[in-house]
Copies of this chain bind each other. A is one copy, B any other.
Amino acid sequence: MLGRAQLTAVAEARSRLLSHIGEIKPGVQRLPLEKCLDRVCASQVVSPEDLPPTDRSTMDGFAVIAADTFGASQSMPGYLDIRGEVVMGEVPAGKISRGTCFKIPTGGLLPAGADAVVMHEHTVPVDSEVVEIIKPVGSGANLIKQGDDIRKGAVAVERGQLLRPQELGLLAGLGISEVEVYAPLEIGVISTGDEIVDYREIVSPGKIRDINSIVLSSLVRRCGALVHDYGIVSDDENTFFSIVEEAVTENNLVLFSGGSSVGMRDLGEQAIERIGNPGILVHGVSLKPGKPVIIGLCDGTPVFGLPGHPVSAMVCFDFFVRPAIEILSGITPVSTINQPSVQARLKRNINSAAGRLDVVRVQLELEGDVLQARPILGKSGAISTLSQAHGYFLIDEDSQGVSSDDTVDVYLYP
């Protein structure tokens, strides 16, 4: 058993891990823009041009010289001669001089000479050649000027930014059709234990079906990484060491799970210590569930020994593995933004030990107007509780518990 004194606080464990892997960078690929969704930009992209390349109208109306509209009002309109019409997608022919205007659609190129657009609603048609202006505009009104959106040479996307639909849109707008992105991580997943069998097989009495492989592989896939599933590995020392070593060689990160027993725990620690440097970074954290997690680094490859209980393994994934995957993926963390949450009223008291971070899974339900959080208090290791939770709240190290009717911040499982 792990004594309280040997446990590392969650924040300390995480910062120890992340500080060791901050400098590791994945490979780089050059991909067509349409293949880049949810990939991470590997080199800064600067705008190759002004956008828009010329002044454009942001309204349907009339392109004018602003000074020609000064003093115009409903009772005292100004009159302008219509000298032409801007056609979408074409360069306007001709030039505006004092006392004249062009009809212009939203997005139309501003004709030479004009410096503003009067909205359609602030005009009254007279005939095909003359329009009444009933409201003045200042120079630059209802326009987006050359380079207003983004200037040539300005940074469009930074290295380390996730390429969301928005960033792909910006890059498409700039005519950038290929981007350097980081290669997806390759992550090895190993289940251990002589009692564990593949879930597709017949189980004989005493055996347990492997749950962690599919849960951890799925969590990894959702991070955009590739999974190498090493299946179920015997906890025989030679077999186990050689598979972990193989996985460390073949992947950017390795997860093994199973074996909360002391023997298996020791075996996991020995494997990490032997296979590479610096070896063990953290063994045991003040976290419930998730206490027996082992975190190591073998010559640049983080290796995680996760608890055998799927619930504990998933909590450790959320707190340690996902942040490591994000850093290794090349994402520049946006540390200033809290995790989004919903507020809910707790349905019962929950006690916690001081000095320990508790992760309490909850079901949410609306009672009247108030969202209620019902803690899920399944027996240790119950799998069905895994899928009953909408999310979880935290009882932090300074607290010895929370009371019924307290408001808690619930983080939803995606």
**Residue from the list B157, B194, B411 in contact with A88, Cβ < 8 A:** B194
Q: How far is it, in angstroms, between the C-alpha of A158 and the C-alpha of B124 when the chains are bound?
A: 61
User: B371 and A337: CB pair below 8 A?
Assistant: yes
Residues 287-343 (chain A) with a chain B CB within 8 angstroms: 308, 310, 314, 334, 336-342
Minimum Cβ distance to chain B for residue A106 (Å): 6
Q: How far is it, in angstroms, between the C-alpha of A165 and the C-alpha of B413 when the chains are bound?
A: 10
In which size bucket is the chain A interface?
A: 35 or more
Interface residue A354 (Cβ < 8 Å from any Cβ of B): no
**Residue from the list B144, B207, B208, B386 in contact with A166, Cβ < 8 A:** B386
Residue of B nearest to A208 (CB): B107
Q: What chain B residues lie within 8 Å of A149 (beta carbons)?
A: 378-379, 381-384
Interface residue A350 (Cβ < 8 Å from any Cβ of B): no
User: A120 and B1: CB pair below 8 A?
Assistant: yes
User: B170 and A387: CB pair below 8 A?
Assistant: yes
Interface residue A21 (Cβ < 8 Å from any Cβ of B): no
- Stretch of A23-31, A53-61, A94-102, A238-246 on the interface side: A53-61
**Contacts A148-B379, A165-B219, A379-B149 given; does A206 touch B109 at CB 8 Å:** yes
The list of the 6 closest CB pairs from A to B, nearest first, reads: A89-B195, A340-B340, A165-B218, A336-B366, A172-B199, A169-B215
Interface of A toward B, CB cutoff 8 Å: 1, 33-34, 37-38, 51-54, 58, 60, 88-91, 105-107, 109, 120-121, 144, 148-150, 156-157, 164-170, 172-177, 193-196, 199-200, 203, 205-219, 221-222, 260-262, 308, 310, 314, 334, 336-342, 364-366, 371, 378-384, 386-387, 389-390, 411-414
